[in-house]
Structure 1
Amino acid sequence: MSKLLIEAFYGGSHKQLMDVLKEEIEGCVLYSLPAKKWHWRARTAALYFMQAVPPSDTYRVLFTSSVLNLAELVALRTDLGKLKKVLYFHENQLIYPVRKSQERDFQYGYNQILSCLVADTVVFNSAFNMESFLTSIGKFLKMIPDHRPKDLERIIRSKSQVVYFPVMFPDVSRFLPEQKRVSQRATSDKSLGSLAHSIESEVPSQNDAVAPSAPSGLSDQQIEGNVVQKSEELINIKASLSEDSSGGDQHVMPNSSPASLCNDSQRPLHIVWPHRWEHDKDPETFFKIMMKLKEQELPFHLSVLGETFTDVPEIFSQARISLGSAVLHWGFLPSKDDYYQVLCEADVVISTAKHEFFGVAMLEAVHCGCFPLCPKSLVYPELFPVEYLYSTPEQLLKKLQNFCKRPDTARRRRIQVETAPYSWAALNGEFTSLLTAEPRKDL
């Protein structure tokens, strides 16, 4: 038990990451709190873990997410302060959107800055996440009325790096319609060829996985490391035999039917929205567009998946009634197989997010052959080529109108998004390195 994992919000992508590390890297022990009442976890989790984590002279590394106030924990538990402390950012509170005119709570962002200062290594799940956090520190600290600290961006940047979230892409071949099987084989071969070329030439990959507009914080070494560090396991990337821990309980409406019963030209476009049911994913914009499609009498089917927490935006209950027979699936799918089967049956996956620092659900849907449509902002230009990005809701509506009229155009397009660089097979070496510590004389 040389590696101590602490997760103050054990749900969603936070849970996925900790489960992968615990299962795949030897010597990990996990302590966690359920994914409820996020604000209280951020405020008080350090006090809980001070008592919950027993002392041990076998720990060498502490790995935690930025929900935890790491500064408080190591002050309360000086024995943990001696460990190599790795802080992982799934999101950051300096630019996290707040509802309406609600005042941003200074304490959450301040806690993350303090945690960075006491951490030995600060890791972000995307270059967008890293740059948006680091470049916002100065402006954020101007909220302090006087005697403001200096040079914190420089101090934190010096120990910061990007390591993408490791997605456990499963083998979904048994769920794929024939057309998607053909496209996936072609895309997989292209992806492997591109990776092999990168390895042979020892030049960082400049493929679609990192778009030209990606933030400059992603170094050549990081891009190359993400792709080639596990080159001997490229065949495993193609196989994608490991399983992921997202997904949820299938609610199949009476009018649903297997996708295979109709040919491409007859079957309505199947749209999927697989995100958390929370305001930062902007469900209002999404459902507004869906209602316009219905008002125009354009044929489509809809699956609305994703986790729900304490407060579900009212728009979901309204949309469920208004969209009526267009709905095929509605609600969280706890069965991973059911979740991936819906993604494999769907044609188009949509994000309308106002906040996204990585986007596991979008990459999972692409892995299942869905054509992605994402905002031309946030992390998306870093992960998706420009052809999958839209600038305004009107652009998104127009794309969907065209797809609804000719759904085969979406189904038969080869998706030029490489998911291999974001797989556990490509990234496990970097996480293993993060969880490795040199022997210390004071331990």
Structure 2
Amino acid sequence: MTGDRTAAGIMSVLLIEAFYGGSHKQLMDLLKGELEGCVLYSLPAKKWHWRARTAALHFMQAVPPSDSYRVLFTSAVLNLAELVALRPDLGKLRKVLYFHENQLVYPVRKNQDRDFQYGYNQILSCLVADIVVFNSAFNMESFLTSISKFLKLMPDHRPKNLHQLIRPKCRVIHFPIRFPDVSRFLPEHKKTPQKITMDRLGHHTDVDVTSLQNPKISPAICDQIGEPKAQPRKESIGITISPSESSPEDDGQVISEPSSSDFNTESPRPLHIVWPHRWEHDKDPETFFKIMMKLKDQGLPFRLSVLGETFTDVPEIFSQARISLGSAVLHWGFLPSKDEYFQVLCAADVVISTAKHEFFGVAMLEAVHCGCYPLCPKALVYPEIFPAEYLYSTPEQLWKKLQNFCKRPGIVRRHRSQAETSPYSWASLNGEFRSLLTTEPREDL
């Protein structure tokens, strides 16, 4: 491999990903596809704990020696200290460590469940890296300020001031998202905004007034995501849940939705809520579904799409909620097709996070890109990304907002989002990544 000769010198980047799935896969694929001279070695996104423990030994054998490597870029799942000890030739490279998350503050259900080794591995990796990159300021600061407390778990001979050694290497480069063109999937009210002022969201804000037409989405998409088709207003529209996705309560039933305009106050289309996160406890599905059940029990109209990837252990609440929510469910489960995924996001009105852990939140930003109104905890990374009007402090506040939106969904559909997505796009960030991964060849290589 000869690499790519550019104005900055030979660019040859060794990409290593020990957990090649989700946002980790997205980033590696993006870098490999967009930057010349990259070669990728990876392990499937399974058994995360074993990847963190043993991946270095695998890559010691899997990565062939090469004189063309100049930069090693890897996520913090890999124990970089172990790899460079096992492969001194790789230790000579410019080593860039990228943190999608950090194990020092990663939530565990019980504190005794926290495995010291994972956080310890990440501290060691930072010490041997040349540059340490975090996807958010929250991720960086939560890691650096937790090192001393974390090391107090050691019974004795605790190292001191490691954060002072690591901080000068650190910088924030947000996760780069390649936002697709979703204009063909957008309903009309998300396409033609006009800015006015309203106070009906509970505070003074700018919102969008839109056309009073029904969303013009193709019949195929309507069948998939439950959007009203472009038909005369007096006709009723039926959306059928397929037997494979229906619960025992709604098997074979047809969910009837009104065909009136989104903005007909007498009979609006029900609020469409989407939850696009991993089906794991750190996303707090228990709180989310508790609120959904409260909406249903009060007879408030809404439709729900629960997306996101599943892994080995799926919390029981998902199967319970699928049965309990019955015909309110429009879609249930991971959508491997990106087009289908973005179609659902474009059809939805509100995207919700109840996460106990979030260091960036790609799914939330993708949903906002598709015109969804975001509701996020006033904690974690969210205040760094979203304006205050989209943040809630307690589940009760979230419930009250959704209660209002279910009663008057036109409020959400007329709102122009104040959340910016462009700063997190590949178009905005690619220059920083190119600079990060381009270097002059070292004399000792």
Q: TM-score, normalized by length of structure 1?
A: 0.84
Ranges in structure 1 where 5+ consecutive residues have no aligned partner: 188-248
Ranges in structure 2 where 5+ consecutive residues have no aligned partner: 4-11, 197-223, 227-239, 243-253
CA contact (8 A) 2:225 2:330 kept: no
Q: CA deviation at 1:166?
A: 0.2
Residue of structure 2 equivalent to 1:407: 409
Query: SS of the counterpart of 2:346?
Result: helix
Instruction: State how 1:34-433 maps to structure 2 within 5 Å.
Output: 34-183=44-193, 253-254=241-242, 255=254, 262-265=261-264, 266-433=268-435
Find the aligned partners of 1:305 and 1:186 in 2 and give their Cα distance.
31
Larger strand proportion of the pair:
2
Larger helix proportion of the pair:
1
How many residue pairs match? The answer is 381
The worse-fitting range, judged by mean Cα deviation, of 313-322 and 148-157 is: 148-157
CA contact (8 A) 2:257 2:269 kept: no
Find the aligned partners of 1:433 and 1:133 in 2 and give their Cα distance.
24
Residue of structure 2 equivalent to 1:32: 42
Residue of structure 1 equivalent to 2:31: 21
Letter in 2 for 1:292: K
Change (3 A) 1:405 1:258: closer
Letter in 1 for 2:20: Y
Q: CA deviation at 1:253?
A: 2.1
Change (3 A) 1:261 1:310: farther
Find the aligned partners of 2:384 and 2:256 in 1 and give their Cα distance.
36
Letter in 1 for 2:383: P
CA contact (8 A) 1:250 1:335 kept: no
Query: SS of the counterpart of 1:158?
Result: helix
Find the aligned partners of 1:49 and 1:308 in 2 and give their Cα distance.
26
Query: Matched residues, percent identical?
Result: 81
Letter in 2 for 1:304: V
Change (3 A) 1:261 1:62: farther
Find the aligned partners of 1:98 and 1:259 in 2 and give their Cα distance.
44
Find the aligned partners of 1:250 and 1:406 in 2 and give their Cα distance.
21
Q: CA deviation at 1:102?
A: 3.8
Residue of structure 2 equivalent to 1:200: none
Residue of structure 2 equivalent to 1:243: none
Q: CA deviation at 1:437?
A: 1.7
Cα shift readout 1:274-319 (whole Å, capped 9, x = no counterpart): 0000000000000000000000000000000000011100000000
Change (3 A) 1:166 1:257: farther
Letter in 2 for 1:253: I
Residue of structure 2 equivalent to 1:199: none
Find the aligned partners of 1:144 and 1:334 in 2 and give their Cα distance.
43
Find the aligned partners of 1:47 and 1:395 in 2 and give their Cα distance.
48
Find the aligned partners of 2:259 and 2:369 in 1 and give their Cα distance.
19
The worse-fitting range, judged by mean Cα deviation, of 362-371 and 97-106 is: 97-106
- Which protein is bigger by CA-based radius of gyration? 2
Find the aligned partners of 1:440 and 1:429 in 2 and give their Cα distance.
22
Find the aligned partners of 2:256 and 2:188 in 1 and give their Cα distance.
17
CA contact (8 A) 2:262 2:410 kept: no
Find the aligned partners of 2:79 and 2:54 in 1 and give their Cα distance.
8
Q: CA deviation at 1:101?
A: 4.6
